[in-house]
Amino acid sequence: MLLLGLGELRGDRTTVRALFHRLQQRLNEIVVGQGAIAQGLIVALLAEGHVILEGVPGTAKTLLVKLLARLIAAEFRRIQLTPDVLPADILGTSLFDFNSRTFRLRKGPIFTQVLLADEINRTPPKTQAALLEAMEERQVTLDGTTLPLPGLFWTVATQNPLEFEGTYPLPEAQLDRFLLKLVVSYPEPSAERQMLENALAGFEARDLDQLNLEPLITVEQVLAARQQVRQVHVEPVVLDYLLALVQASRQHPELLLGASPRAAVGWLRATQAQAWLADRAYVTPEDVKAIALPLLQHRLVLKPEAQLDGTTLPQVIQGILAKVAVPR
C-alpha cells in the first residue's frame, strides 16, 4: 500500500510539473520576447513570493500578469494606484446600512487571489503601507477585525523606472516583502517582429477574450505544487553556500544594508522552485546563483560614497558571487 501511494504521488508530481511547463510555454507564445520574466513570475508564484515588475510603459507587464492569472483560473483584480488612492480603496471599509441600521463591511479589491498593484510608486506611503500586513501575513485588519485572505494571495506590483516626478519610492520594509524584482526590458528585434506580425494577424494585446483561453492549471494544483516545491532537497553544503552569500552582503564595504533573514528564507524557497521547474529533486549552487540578482537588487542599499563612485548594485552582487567559494 505504501509503495502504491508513493507511485501515485510521483505521478501527480510529474503531471503538475508538466502543466507548469505548458503554462510557461503558453505565456511565451502569447507575450513574445519576455521568456525570462515569465519564468521569474512562475518561480515566485511557486515560492509564494510577491514580485515587482519594473520597466518602461508598453512592455506587456500588465498583460503578463492578467494572462498568468487567467491560465491558472485565479480570481484577478487590478488597482491603478495614483496619488489620490486611499487605504480604504484597497482594503475596504464599513458602510452604514440604513435598512438594517448596522454597519456592513465592504471588502476592497485586495480580497482576491492575484492582485496587480499598477504603478505602486505613484501612490503615497500611507496607501502603500496598506499592503504591508496583507503581503506578509496574508490577512487584513479592518475596524479591529482580522480577515484572512485567499490561500493563493499573490501580489505583483509594477513601476516605471524613468519617471520620478510625483512618485513615492517604496521604503525598505516594503521592498523586503517582495521576493523578486524583475526588470522588464525591450524584446529582441526578432521577437518584436513576431509581435508586429501577430498584430497584423488581428491580435490585440488588450483583448484576451479573442484567444478563447482555457485555464491550464487550477488554483488547487498551484497550491499542491507549492507543497511539492517545499520538498525539494537542499544539501547542507548548498545551504551553507546560500548563508555565506547572505553574510557577505551584510559585511560588504560598499553596502549600507545587506540581505535580511526574510531574504534568506525567500532565496531558499526560490531556489527550490527553480530546481522543481528544472525537473530536479535537489537544489544546486547554480540555482542559488541564478536567482541572486532579482532577489537582491531591490533589497541591498549602496553607501553614498559608493554611489558617487558610480558603483551599481548588479556589480556588487556579481562581486559577492565571485568572492564566495562555490561548493563542489
For residues 108 and 127, the answer to whether their CB atoms sit within 8 Å is no
pLDDT at 324: 96
The cell for 191 is 521577437
- pLDDT classification of 209: cutoffs 50, 70, 90: low
Rounded Cα distance between 277 and 45, Å, is 12
163-197 residue pLDDT tens:
666 688 898 989 999 999 999 999 899 988 988 88
Pairwise pLDDT comparison (180 vs 205), residue with the higher score: 180
pLDDT at 7: 37
- pLDDT classification of 254: cutoffs 50, 70, 90: very high
Helix (H) or strand (E) holding 16: helix 2-30
Q: Report whether pLDDT(2) > 50.
A: no
pLDDT at 95: 78
Q: Give backbone dihedrals phi and psi of 144, rounded to 5 degrees, phi first.
A: 80, 0
Domain boundaries, the chain: 16-230, 232-328
The residue to which cell 553614498 is assigned: 304
Whether 232-328 and 16-230 are alike in CATH topology: the answer is: no
119-144 residue pLDDT tens:
999 999 999 999 999 999 999 988 88
The architecture of the domain spanning 16-230 is 3-Layer(aba) Sandwich (3.40)
- For 7, counting Cβ atoms within 10 Å of its Cβ (0-12 exposed, 13-18 middle, 19+ buried), the class is exposed
Rounded Cα distance between 55 and 72, Å, is 24
pLDDT at 3: 32
Q: Give backbone dihedrals phi and psi of 135, rounded to 5 degrees, phi first.
A: -70, -35
Pairwise pLDDT comparison (47 vs 206), residue with the higher score: 47
Q: Report whether pLDDT(231) > 60.
A: yes
140-158 residue pLDDT tens:
988 888 999 999 999 999 9
- pLDDT classification of 44: cutoffs 50, 70, 90: very high
Q: Give backbone dihedrals phi and psi of 162, rounded to 5 degrees, phi first.
A: -100, -35
Pairwise pLDDT comparison (10 vs 272), residue with the higher score: 272
95-113 residue pLDDT tens:
777 777 777 788 899 999 9
- For 128, counting Cβ atoms within 10 Å of its Cβ (0-12 exposed, 13-18 middle, 19+ buried), the class is buried
Mean pLDDT of the chain, nearest integer: 89
Q: Report whether pLDDT(24) > 60.
A: yes
Rounded Cα distance between 52 and 156, Å, is 6
The cell for 254 is 560598499
DSSP three-state, residue 52: strand
pLDDT at 5: 35
Could you tell me which of 129, 28, 46, 147 has the C-alpha nearest to residue 88?
129
CATH assignment of 232-328, among 3.40.50.880, 3.90.660.10, 1.10.8.80, 3.10.50.40: 1.10.8.80
Rounded Cα distance between 208 and 305, Å, is 48
